[in-house]
Structure 1
Amino acid sequence: MAVKIRLTRMGAKSKPFYRIVATDTDSPRDGKFLEILGNYDPKKNPAEIVVKEERVRAWLSKGAKATLTVANLLKTKGIEAGTKFN
């Protein structure tokens, strides 16, 4: 089972916020997940990013891959996700 750290969309129409989750790569975007690792609210000014740093580092050490968007969010929090950044 390959694990990805990615965003799942929550909230109402035109008012999205996102959970940062560890999930199986075969699961749909808003489907089953293994663990909630934080959240991201792009509507707040400045955008609010909350991350459980210990758990993210644990998943990354176990071989989980972060998506490019999540890797960029983690970089702002000082966590190196091992993904090439734009």
Structure 2
Amino acid sequence: MSTKIRLKRGGRKGQAYYRIVVQDSRVRPRGQELDVLGFYHPAARPEPVSEVDMQKSLDWLSKGAEMSDTARNILSKSGVLKHYHEGTRPEEVSAVIKGEMVENKGYNPPPPPVEKVVAAATEESESASPDSEGAPSEVESAVSDDDTQAAAGTEEA
């Protein structure tokens, strides 16, 4: 049996909402569904609202369910397709969502924001600079000696 993940319309005229459902591909779009994966409410303001059950979605995708274009976009925005393409099993999804380490895939949480990295780098440079302020390095002293000799030579001529 070929299954398809698609949207099933509900609501009155001008107030549409959609359920993301799994149906047999031979059934009409408003027909009987096998499972409800979530909903999509495009009329919500300030932006559309969607909610998808990741466990069920990954389960149906792993069974070979095809997606309509709109359902694919919604699943992609909710992060389901990312986990599906990584090969994450439905049992591992909750660990991935929480940011824990997954044994088989070696999932690591995302790196810290750039602001924290920049702040840490400035703290390191501030802690290192007081040590070097006391005595000039060999390069700095050699350059300053050359400058003073060159300045003295131009004044004599």
Structure 1 length-normalised TM: 0.91
Name the count of aligned residue pairs.
Answer: 82
Larger helix percent: 2
- Equivalent AA in structure 2 for residue 67 of structure 1: S
Q: Which of structure 1's runs of 4+ aligned residues deviate more than 4 A?
A: none
- How far residue 14 of structure 1 moved from its aligned partner, in angstroms, is 1.1
Q: Which ranges in structure 1 are unaligned for 5 or more consecutive residues? A: none
Kindly report the root-mean-square deviation, in angstroms, between the aligned alpha carbons of the 2 structures: 1.2
- Taking the aligned partners of 2:79 and 2:55, their CA distance within structure 1 comes to 12
- Equivalent AA in structure 1 for residue 74 of structure 2: L
| Greater length-normalized contact order (CA 8 Å, ≥ 6 residues apart) | 1
- Taking the aligned partners of 2:5 and 2:22, their CA distance within structure 1 comes to 4
Structure 2 length-normalised TM: 0.51
Partner of 1:54: 55
- How far residue 58 of structure 1 moved from its aligned partner, in angstroms, is 0.1
Partner of 2:21: 21
- Taking the aligned partners of 1:12 and 1:55, their CA distance within structure 2 comes to 28
- Taking the aligned partners of 1:21 and 1:56, their CA distance within structure 2 comes to 10
- Taking the aligned partners of 1:77 and 1:50, their CA distance within structure 2 comes to 8
Q: Which ranges in structure 2 are unaligned for 5 or more consecutive residues? A: 86-157
- Taking the aligned partners of 2:80 and 2:37, their CA distance within structure 1 comes to 13
